[in-house]
Amino acid sequence: MPFKVIITKDFEHMSAVGAKIVVGYIRRTLARQGRFVLGLATGNTPTGLYRHLAEAANGGDFAAASVASFNLDEYIGLPGENPQQRTLHPESYSFFMIRELFGRLRENFRAAYVPWGALIDQGRLEAELAAYPDDWEKQGADKGKAVVIRPEAASDYLRWIRREILDAYEREIAAAGGIDLHIVGVGGRGHVAFHEAGIPFPGNRMLLVQLDDNTIDNAVADRHFSRREESPRFAVSMGAELVYEAKAVLLLANGKRKAEPVAASLLEDVNEQVPISYGQVLAGRGGEMTYVLDREAAAEVLTQRDRIESRGIEIEELAG
């Protein structure tokens, strides 16, 4: 099983090692096929990697104009009177990507996509869900739920969200040839993007998600929002099935909060309570699954090293 865990010294070391892997993968793929499709995450974890990635592109290590990117997720319900204001809100993932990566590039990617959550009005969404209860169902064993809209929904608005926001994003990825390498992080409970713990894997490829209270609390704890009332209650997100359909996935994790879910994803079989465990499916079908962890995030991996390695997962410690 092509599954490797690389343990680094700290955040900066993790970022540099992760960037080196990404740049190498881009260069090899461009040499073979002349174009590259990169999956991107947001949050604090990949910011250092993005800085190194921009430096590599600007230094001529690869041609940014040959790269297209697709982001994992976007909020619904950011403050703003219209989609433009919501897109430019400092906590929108579109704004994040401009600040942390796209705005650092001297040469633009040939295309950059972020899920179109800003087009959805959260108030109208909630009103339509209340008015048309037979048009949708919630799926999930925990507090974070997938809101699955039926294709034949009576609500024009809900049907539009499914067709033009969710299904259309997956069609764009397919039209681009699929994702070559996905960069992902990990939530405090092992979620990937907004595929929350307990949301079923099968069929949930592009998700409309009602967010877990824990996710909202973490957004406040990480200072993305000053209080819970300001945090969006919904998001658009790739689901684990779609994320791990990439040819390769690079998972970054730093800090003590990530240690338990990281270890669980390696020690346990694929489990909807730990969505990043779906990486085992990718590795099982021959894709490349790589974790790059700092020592805090790797703490429980190190204590369970023998058990993890007995499952065919390679662990490498780098001195820094």
DSSP characters over 282-302: HHHTT-EEEEEEETTTTHHHH
What is the tens place of the pLDDT at every residue in 278-304? 999 999 999 999 999 999 999 999 999
Angle, in degrees to the nearest 10, between helices 47-58 and 93-100: 50
What is the tens place of the pLDDT at every residue in 241-269? 999 999 999 999 999 999 999 999 999 99
What is the tens place of the pLDDT at every residue in 267-284? 999 999 999 999 999 999
User: Domain boundaries in the chain?
Assistant: 3-317
Mean pLDDT, all residues of the chain: 95
| pLDDT at 18 exceeding the cut of 60 | yes
Question: Which residues on adjacent β-strands are paired with residue 7?
Answer: 293, 317
Give the pLDDT of residue 10. 97
Give the pLDDT of residue 320. 63
| pLDDT at 46 exceeding the cut of 60 | yes
Question: Which residues on adjacent β-strands are paired with residue 315?
Answer: 5
Of 12-16, 53-57, 208-212, 220-224, minimum mean pLDDT range: 220-224
Percent of the chain with pLDDT over 90: 88
Return the CATH fold of 3-317.
Rossmann fold (3.40.50)
Confidence of residue 51 (pLDDT cuts 50, 70, 90): very high
Cβ–Cβ < 8 Å for 36, 67:
yes
Cβ–Cβ < 8 Å for 196, 212:
yes
What is the tens place of the pLDDT at every residue in 109-125? 999 999 999 999 999 99
Cβ–Cβ < 8 Å for 94, 87:
yes
Give the pLDDT of residue 221. 85
pTM of the model: 0.95
What DSSP assignment string belongs to 160-191?
Answer: HIIIIIIIHHHHHHHHTT--SEEEE---TTS-
